[in-house]
A and B are shown apart, each in its own frame.
Chain A
């Protein structure tokens, strides 16, 4: 993978998350732009590469948000591992493939965090699950829209073509 392109994508995703994602919010749930980048990478690269990328994206989220360092780095790592196991089963250049990958990755990244918040602060278990599902659904929608643009930058980003993924 081209790591310079990754750094650019990570910074772009962080800015978009803060500036643009709230415009597509439904209630308190907003699409997770970093998860879309994470899914695009995890569905096209090897396990180690996707783990480093996901951990970096999560750490960036931790540093720019109010969660403190660590939680999202761990959650994004788990999401990348799960999304990476679907590599070869989904077509990331097709909207449906990206939507499914983003939905699963977003759910894996957010649901455990919601449960921890529910247990620690008493915000309600079903509130946490409902919020995670809403974030995952919105992220899946954004992933479907981003499938074609990501397929176009596949070459410059150094991601494997789909025929190699299926081989």
Chain B
């Protein structure tokens, strides 16, 4: 009996330690965990080139941000959405400040989650929940920030949730729902009733959330499949516009 206890003491202790880590996840500060990844920053700088490239990348970021502003001001999408509902009342002219960042790791080793690591952290003003884009397309949201690096949860991650609108191209009608990652690179549009006329090819855009500083009208993806679900809600599959494997540079929306 004593021998049995000794044999199982270590596995049980390790299992309990894992349980404590899982339960205390939200209380463990991200800073120390992200510190080792700072070693990867020179890699991003080397991949990005020297000072000239750095300047061009910053300029490129500004140009992309400008493109974003112009698209949101003058694009056909804005005109369509303005008609739709009150959520478009959110100040379209006030564009958020953007921070260009490089992708350090574009694959999540867990195989279950979709995350990427970027070379900007709390030192640069990056905070949890900020939207990350590639031009006008939403890549995901900041999951955690270390001092010099951050992890971004992609829109296809199973834990990703965001309020969005499905808009028909060339029409003024839109349907709101919750975008949820599926874990296989696609997303689902949830809480949209069966009777709502969402069809294939409709574009999915963000809905303004002033509390969190999210702008409206950011492009996320388009409806790949639309059918009847098991209950009162439809079964709608969304294909994201951004391919994470090809991501090199992104923009972090820092807020206004």
Interface residues of A (CB under 8 A from B): 14, 17-18, 21-22, 27-30, 32, 34, 47-48, 51-52, 55, 58-59, 61-74, 77, 81, 110, 113-114, 117, 121-124, 127, 131, 135
Contact = CB atoms under 8 A, between A and B. Distances in A.
Q: In which size bucket is the chain B interface?
A: 35 or more
Interface of B: 7, 10-11, 14-15, 17-23, 25, 28, 33, 105, 107-115, 143, 151, 153, 157-159, 180-185, 245
A30 B111 contact: yes
Query: What's the dominant secondary structure at chain A's contact region?
Result: helix
Given A68-B25, A70-B22, A61 B110 contact: yes
Contacts, number: 112
A154 to B, nearest CB: 23
Given A51-B10, A51-B11, A121-B159, A70 B19 contact: yes
Contacts of B112: 67, 110, 113-114, 117, 131
Nearest to A138: B111
Contact of B113 (A17, A67, A73): A67
A18 B109 contact: yes
B150 to A, nearest CB: 12
Contacts of A14: 109
B96 to A, nearest CB: 24
Contacts of A47: 7, 10-11
A121 B113 CA distance: 12
Contact of A22 (B21, B25, B107, B143): B107
A69 B28 contact: yes
A63 B18 contact: no
A77 B110 CA distance: 15
B25 A70 contact: yes
A66 B7 contact: no
Given A48-B10, A74-B22, A123-B183, A66 B110 contact: yes
Contacts of A81: 11
A68 B21 CA distance: 9
B7 A131 contact: no
